[in-house]
Amino acid sequence: MAKVVLKLGDDISTDLIYPGRYMATVLPGETPQFAFADLTEFNAKLKAKQIPPGSFVVGGKNFGCGSSREQAVSTLKGHDLVIVAEDFARIFLQNSINLGLTLVTAPGLEAAEGDELEVSGNRLLNRSSGKSFATLELPKARQAIMDAGGLILYTRRRLLDMLHQSAR
């Protein structure tokens, strides 16, 4: 169980999550400082480590729309945030699975800042309102990547299989 630390609307773009002017910074170890940089108060709390790991950021529809910039995922992953939304834009969703950022897809979800949420099986419980919402599974095409612990490890395993095969 953890708190909703930020409640956002529909169509949250990668420009809000990680503004373009910080795109020269690319390494996952360096991107977390710019998470939601234009939401200056929230960004300050993140940098001051006032947001506990596992906290929820709640969006509406089409979360992560816009750019393919992977910084928009590594910046959130760096703070161990969990993103809950009604649905996610394709590239953001794939990048999240590839880097191991936890996403929860919950159509019709209702939650306010400060609410306590809990993910339990395929339900999302809002402990504060007492309401519960069904969650959707991530695309089955991506299951193998999740099982491997991310795309780097998955690709490494596939690569070694390929190299060993061709060596035979």
Partner 1 sequence: MGMTVVEKILARASGRQSVRAGEVVEPRVDLAMSHENAALVINQFFEVYRDTGYEPRIWDPSRVAIIFDHRVPAESPKTASNQKKIREFVAKHAIRKFHDIRGDVGGICHQILPESGYVRPGFVVVGTDSHTTSHGALGAFSLGIGATEMASAWALGIAVNIEVPRTIKVNVTGTFLPFVGPKDLILRLIGELSAQGANFRVIEFHGETIRKMSTSGRLVICNMSVEAGATSGIVPADEETIRYLREESGVTDPVEPVLPDRDAVYEKAIGIDVSNLQPQIACPHTVDNVKPIDIVAGARVHQVVIGSCTNGRLDDLQMAAGIVRGNKVAQGTRMLVFPASGRIYQQALEQGLVADFMKAGAVVMNPGCGPCLGIHEGALGDGEVALSTTNRNFKGRMGNPNSEVYLCSPAVAAASALAGVITDPRKGG
- In the range 105-164, which residues lie near partner 1 by CB under 8 A? 139-142, 144-145, 150-152, 154-156, 158-160, 162-163
Q: Is 36 in the site for partner 1 (CB under 8 A)?
A: no
Closest CA to 63 of 38, 81, 99, 90: 90
**What's the closest the beta carbon of residue 127 comes to partner 1, in angstroms?**
29
Q: Is 67 in the site for partner 1 (CB under 8 A)?
A: yes
Contacts (Cβ under 8 Å, ≥6 apart) of 10: 59, 60, 61, 62, 86
Helix, coil or strand: residue 42: helix
Alpha carbons 168 and 150: distance in angstroms, whole number: 28
**What's the closest the beta carbon of residue 162 comes to partner 1, in angstroms?**
7
- Binding positions for partner 1, rule: CB under 8 A: 11, 13, 15-16, 19-27, 38, 61-62, 65-71, 73, 87, 89-91, 94-95, 98-99, 139-142, 144-145, 150-152, 154-156, 158-160, 162-163
